[in-house]
Amino acid sequence: MTDDEPRIGRTMSHYKLTSRLGAGGMGVVYKADDLQLGRQVAVKFLSPEFARDEAALQRFQREARAASAINHPNICTIHGIDEHDSDHFIVMELLEGETLASRIARGPLPIAELLEIGLQIVDALESAHARGIVHRDLKPANVFLTTRGHIKVLDFGLATFDVSQTHVADITVSREPLSSASRTFGTVSYMSPEQARGEVADARSDIFSLGVVLYEMATGVLPFRGETIALMFEGLLNRNPAPPSQLVPSHMPELDRIVAHALEKDRRYRCQSAPEVRTALLRLRRDLDEARSRDPGSSRSTAHAPSTVGTSVAVLYFDNLSGAKEDEYLRDGITEDVITELSKIRGLRLRSRASVLAFRDQIVTPAEVGQKLGASCVLTGSVRRLGNRLRINTQLIDTRTDDPLWSERYDRELQDIFDMQAEIARSIAQAMRITLSPEEREALAARPTEVLQAYDVFLRGRNYARRMSRLDLEFALQMFENAVALDPSFGLAHAAIAATAAQYFYFCDRSPRWMDRAREATALASRLAPDAPEVLVAQGWVAQGEMQFDQAEALAREALRRNPDVECGYYLLARVLFASGRYRQLMEISEDAIAHSAENYNIWVPIRNACRVLGRVDQSRILVQRELQVFTRQVERVPEDARARVLLAGDYADLGRAGEAEREVQLALAMRPGDGVLLYNAGCVFCRLGKRAEALRALTDSVNVGFYPHTAWARKDPDLESLHGDPQFEALFPPEGTE
């Protein structure tokens, strides 16, 4: 059929076409009556010029298959695919409203409307990505705004079920007077750099396109523009757009950070998943709501935030000028404690420790940090230890102007460290023109201990405890015991003893004495620091050791409510959720857990496992790439960290780098021979390498040296799934109720 207008009034299959709704790309869409089910639907036909093109027909059918594989309220529902007299068509739900492209044409969106639409798009992408489906052509013309305020993502014609396979389609250019005979994926204005280079697209490619859409919603213009395709590609590949707040000053600087993170040209540094974008957008919406609660009379379009909400500070890890490796723990501890002190000031918004971790020991400018993290100010510093004296230089810098807002040099006895940390926090508040409340002043004046040597060994112990091997936990416990010997009133050190002893019981030795020690230390910590979230975490580890998962979860959540950065808080919660089979709940907190866990890389283990159990293949691939960077960085920085090496080996195995996986796992076992935790991890690596015999041998050895057969974890561990049913595995990890 060469003229589509005669279709109106015709009945095709059991669909009577009543009016023409529009055309675009490869299809023409009609409103129709479903005579069988008595409903109105939209019917999309392949355009006549493509009707005899086999590749176009395959793309048309792929759209139907991809969209129909997803049942989500923010994705247009596909009812079926049919053919009538050689006319191929897709039947889908009838939508009333307008496209996002039409809405943007009327001007930039208010921040609240932008966030609502953005969050719904993110939900749609997460659902698609969880099924291994990448859209590859996300743009405002493919986002429909219904009259009921919902969004629907359309046109999965370029989607693929397998990101390792490539497909070719004509370039289309939205709202640009361009055409080209080139062939690549998607629409030039919205495609990712890797798509522009002809590389395989993955979920992060959709994240880039989402960043373009967010930018256009915020500003009304595209971030990468040009009169020719060549100029557009040049900008896409080589230039960064002006931040949205420069074009629309009323927008919050936090939106700049979100967009910049999504528009990273190298996908390794880009926002890695839809849930990560959702977390950022939800935080921005929370900030907006808080701003409105302080200023109820503000209008919807202009009340983006008072100046204090935009006051965001990134505290970079201080430089260790002594050069001594043994002072690294002190440098890290001081930096993290300064962040903790600043978190007590409600008028400041701090970037998480995990977000600044990538900048540690790197040469970066404040402007670069500000752009990547959306921070209006950066606190830099250096630490030099000279015997019992400590020299700290600090500087607060405006990331937009590169001007110093405040700087100070402290040259004092080591025992004055707490005064220095509190003074830094007070000075920053003063530089930001923030008036501290009496409660905030009291919180800043509080000290964890009056004995500096106790604090010193406490920081050392915390460094070892994160490595989780038997020997490292023993070292950590010894350090914490030394801390309370020096200061029996040091509540946080007692809490650390409790948590470490409970972990030792859980991972290494089921002797009741470890739990007795944990309970004794918990009782002391509760009396000495009754309000400290660290005490709740310690109680949570004791509850986990007793397999009281509900209680452990409640304690962890309350600790995180008091302080999201509390040591091991998110790791405890993640382990509990995985062990109790609540995988979806675990994935819901995953991005917050990563953001607040900083150097505690153990958080990646339960998150990746839950993702794999849920069958989220594409998201699992992304997680492997992200954690690979974390484990690699840790091994480079602390070569003796055997736990990080064995986890790195697992990532190498997943990526098919078998030789590197074997090397790292053997090196880890040589560093900590006979360690039950590492032997269990090695068994997981061997399973991922397909080495069944080696896996069973490592798991048997782990149990023989004291690693308790944790049925609640091991039988849920996706790494070990291939061993289920094997008599040796069943004997090591019997089903619950048969032990």
Residue at token pair 């930001």: 432
- SS3 for 17? strand
Please state whether beta strands 97-99 and 143-146 pair in parallel, antiparallel, or not at all (unpaired).
Answer: antiparallel
Which residue in 123, 137, 287, 332 is the catalytic one?
137
What length does the chain have? 739
CB-based contact 156:173 (threshold 8 Å): no
- The 3-class secondary structure across 215-235, one letter per residue, is HHHHHCCCCCCCCCHHHHHHH
Measured between alpha carbons, how far is 678 from 158 in angstroms, rounded to an integer? 44
3-state secondary structure 99-154: EHHHHHCCCCCCHHHHHHHHHHHHHHHHHHHHCCCECCCCCHHHEEEECCCCEEEC
- Contact in structure between 615 and 69 (CB atoms under 8 Å): no
Alpha-carbon distance 70 to 127, whole Å?
Answer: 7
Confirm if 124 and 181 have CB atoms less than 8 A apart. no
* Beta-carbon contacts of residue 135 (< 8 Å; ≥ 6 apart): 125, 128, 142, 153, 156, 158, 159, 206, 209
Instruction: Count CB-CB contacts under 10 A for residue 204.
Output: 26
Distances (CA, A) of 689 to 606, 652, 695, 720: 20, 9, 9, 11
Q: Is 137 annotated as catalytic? A: yes
DSSP H or E run through 50 = none
Cα distance between residue 695 and residue 718, in whole Å: 14
Secondary structure of residue 433 in the 3-state scheme = coil
Give the angle subtended at the CA of 407 by the CAs of 401 and 411, to the nearest 5°. Answer: 160
Residues 40 and 31: their CA atoms lie apart, in Å, by: 7
Q: Which residues are catalytic?
A: 137
